[in-house]
Amino acid sequence: MFKRIVRKDGSVIILVPKKDTKSATFEVLYKVGSRQETDANNGVSHFVEHLMFKGTHRRPNTIDISKELDSIGAEYNAFTGKEHTGYYITADSTHLPLAIDMISDMVHNSKFDPQEIDRERGVIVEEINMYEDNPLMYIEDVFEEHMFAGSNLGRSIAGPRVNIQTISRNSLYNYYKKYYYSSNIVIGLAGNFNEAQALKFVDKLFPLEKKSARVKNKKIVLAKQTSPKIRIVKRSLEQVQLMLGFKTLASNDKNFNKVQVLANVLGGNMSSRLFLNIRERKGLCYFIRAATSPYEHVSAFTIQAGLNKEKTYEALEAIKEEINDVVEKGISADELKRAKDNIRGRLILRLENAGSHLNFLLSQEIIEQKIKDLDELLAEVDRIKLSDVNQIAKDIFQWPNANLAIIGPFEDKNKFLKILKK
């Protein structure tokens, strides 16, 4: 169960009480991410997130923040996505006032000290280097920059190094002031807390402001595809990273859960079609999975695999064969049941954790989607019919719309293109 409170300025509080725990999580989401950026300031949302930990007027530097949280054994972090930025602290519930105070201080009173900004430039560049040096992580950026090229979803979250190295203190601060306002926030509390006391604390530390609208994401307009698109990042690797994907329904589309069921059947677990047929029976990869990257207006249905470089072409042909088999013959009633049961089990386990349950709800609220709690979502999944999933597969898997990204020792796109076109 949860409670949703809309405040007078349009900000929203989500409460998830859970009395059988001794911990509490406080989390805030702002509706700002790389989707709000331009080519010139790409990376600024992520940079601002880093600066929230670099000192406030009451807690002058990073050490003051980390020592205070470490002294109570808290878990704390922040994250930037393409559509929102979040901050959270989980601690012994007796320290909830500190958690609320800390995040309030960070998001309202960070100093944007010029020396700290310059030091953080190097930290973020090293973070970019870390991702690019790990093909397993980097392939997703390569793929989305490729598939969503020409739109604001095609920009990376970290941004290009030149932006990080040159963006001014004023640009960072003005961007922060533009998007870090009360009506653009969703506030969440989960775990063991006294509701009246917690709300009093939140109202004090996150005071109401002039009512205004939450950020609206502009509709994504992508060029029409008439042929598969391929991007290769040449690297001398023994294990190639491959990601094949197709555009699909928006994250808040009423039929999006049908896409998730399809992803589960194809590559959501170790008994899925791709895992059994591509890895276990044919031995063509170490890992393979199907998943969704959900966004407002458009999402991506992806298949990712880590492959021996000598078996890359063979594996791509085998993946295509599996996809064609789903389109032509459909999935079975048994596969549908197993996918539903798997999704049900995973959701129940995930939402047993109060912090995970809170983030699940906040992520829906931040895009102004009607919040579906566990029971409602499971009921929707139960209602999905075999014909629904088989039709979704036909809608998604159209080869002229395929997008392929590869990190490995290749240069020529033609052989890959030939496989996707035939």
What is the tens place of the pLDDT at every residue in 6-46? 999 999 999 999 999 999 999 999 999 999 999 999 999 99
How far apart are alpha carbons 307 and 290 in whole angstroms? 15
Q: Measure the CA–CA gap between 169 and 283, rounded to whole angstroms.
A: 52
The pLDDT assigned to 266 comes to: 98
Residue ending a domain, choose from 158, 173, 205: 205
Q: Please name which of 386, 300, 294, 391 lies closest in space to residue 340, comparing C-alpha atoms.
A: 386
Looking at the fold, whether 158 and 294 belong to one and the same domain comes out as no
- pLDDT bucket at 369, cuts 50 / 70 / 90: confident
Q: Is residue 9 part of a domain?
A: yes
Answer yes or no: do 318 and 357 share one domain.
yes
Predicted local confidence at residue 110, as pLDDT: 98
Locate 40 and state its tokens: 């010139």
Segment 201-218 mean pLDDT: 95
Distance from C-alpha of 148 to C-alpha of 179, rounded to nearest angstrom = 24
Given a contact cutoff of 8 angstroms between Cβ atoms, the answer to whether 36 and 184 are in contact is: no
Give pLDDT, residue 93: 97
Share of the chain above pLDDT 70, in %: 100
In this prediction, residue 368 carries a pLDDT of 86
What local confidence, expressed as pLDDT, does residue 97 receive? 97
Cα separation of 97 and 173, whole Å?
A: 27
Please report the pLDDT score of residue 282 as a whole number.
93
Specify if 218 maps to a domain: no
Domain count, the chain: 2
Q: Are residues 126 and 29 in the same domain?
A: yes
pLDDT at 221 > cutoff 90: no
Together in a domain, 338 and 249:
yes
Active site (catalytic) residues: 49
Task: Give the number of other Cβ atoms within 10 Å of residue 300's Cβ.
Answer: 21
| Residue-wise pLDDT tens digits, 332-350 | 999 999 999 999 999 999 9
Summarize pLDDT for 50-64 with one digit per residue, the tens.
Answer: 999 999 999 999 999
Q: Is pLDDT above 90 for 152? A: yes
Would 68 be classed as within a structural domain?
Answer: yes
**pLDDT over 90 percentage in the chain:** 96
Q: Indicate the average pLDDT of the chain.
A: 96
Co-location of 88 and 139 in the same domain? yes
In angstroms, the CA 214 to CA 35 distance is 14
Domain-embedded: residue 60: yes
The answer to whether residues 108 and 181 belong to one domain is yes
333 domain-assigned: yes
Distance of CA 203 to the CA centre of its chain: 29
Strand 403-408 and strand 239-248: pairing? antiparallel
pLDDT, average across residues 275-285 = 94
Q: Are residues 316 and 363 in the same domain?
A: yes
Asked if residue 344 and residue 261 are part of one domain, the reply reads yes
Task: For residue range 285-329, list pLDDT tens digits in order.
Answer: 999 999 999 999 999 999 999 999 999 999 999 999 999 999 999
Task: Tell me the mean pLDDT in the region 78-106.
Answer: 98
Same domain, yes or no: 369 and 413: yes
CB under 8 Å to 120, separation ≥6 — which residues?
A: 47, 50, 51, 54
Question: Is 164's pLDDT higher than 90?
Answer: yes
Residues 35 and 80: their CA atoms lie apart, in Å, by 11
If asked whether residues 149 and 241 sit together in one domain, one would say no
In this predicted structure, the answer to whether residue 422 has a pLDDT above a threshold of 80 is: no
CA dihedral 170, 175, 181, 184 (to 10 degrees): -170
Average pLDDT over residues 260-264: 98
Q: Which of 136, 171, 205 is the last residue of a domain?
A: 205
169/117 Cα distance (integer angstroms): 7
pLDDT at 7: 96
Among 205, 240, 271, where does a domain finish? 205
Amino acid 140: pLDDT: 97
Whether the pLDDT of residue 130 is over 80: the answer is: yes
CA-based nearest residue to 300, from 147, 187, 71, 116: 147
pLDDT (0 to 100) of residue 1: 85
HEC secondary structure over the chain: CCEEEECCCCCEEEEEECCCCCEEEEEEEECCCHHHCCCCCCCHHHHHHHHCCCCECCCCCHHHHHHHHHCCCCEEEEEECCCCEEEEEEEEHHHHHHHHHHHHHHHHHECCCHHHHHHHHHHHHHHHHHHHCCHHHHHHHHHHHHHCCCCHHHCCCCCCHHHHHHCCHHHHHHHHHHHCCHHHEEEEEEECCCHHHHHHHHHHHCCCCCCCCCCCCCCCCCCCCCCCEEEEEECCCCEEEEEEEEEECCCCCCCHHHHHHHHHHHHCCCCCHHHHHHHHHCCCEEEEEEEEECCCCCEEEEEEEEEEHHHHHHHHHHHHHHHHHHHHHCCCHHHHHHHHHHHHHHHHHHHHCHHHHHHHHHHHHCCCCCCCCHHHHHHHHHCCCHHHHHHHHHHHCCHHHCEEEEEECCCCCHHHHHHHHC
Which residues fall within 8 angstroms of residue 62, CB to CB, at 6 or more apart? 53, 54, 55
> Which CATH number does the domain housing residue 87 bear?
3.30.830.10
Q: What is the mean pLDDT of residues 198-210?
A: 96
Amino acid in position 325: D
Q: Are residues 190 and 318 in the same domain?
A: no
Could you tell me if residue 216 is inside a domain? no
Residue that is written with structure tokens 């979040």 in the block: 86
Is residue 146 a part of any domain in this protein? yes
Cα separations in angstroms, 394 against 242, 296, 329, 388: 22, 22, 10, 10
Residues 281 and 376 in one domain: yes
Give the residue numbers spanning the domain of 301.
229-421
Residue 71 has pLDDT above 90, yes or no: yes
Interatomic CA distance for residues 63 and 69, integer angstroms = 10
- Stretch 120-130: mean pLDDT: 98
Q: Tell me the C-alpha to C-alpha distance, in Å, between residue 8 and each of 109, 177, 208.
A: 23, 20, 7
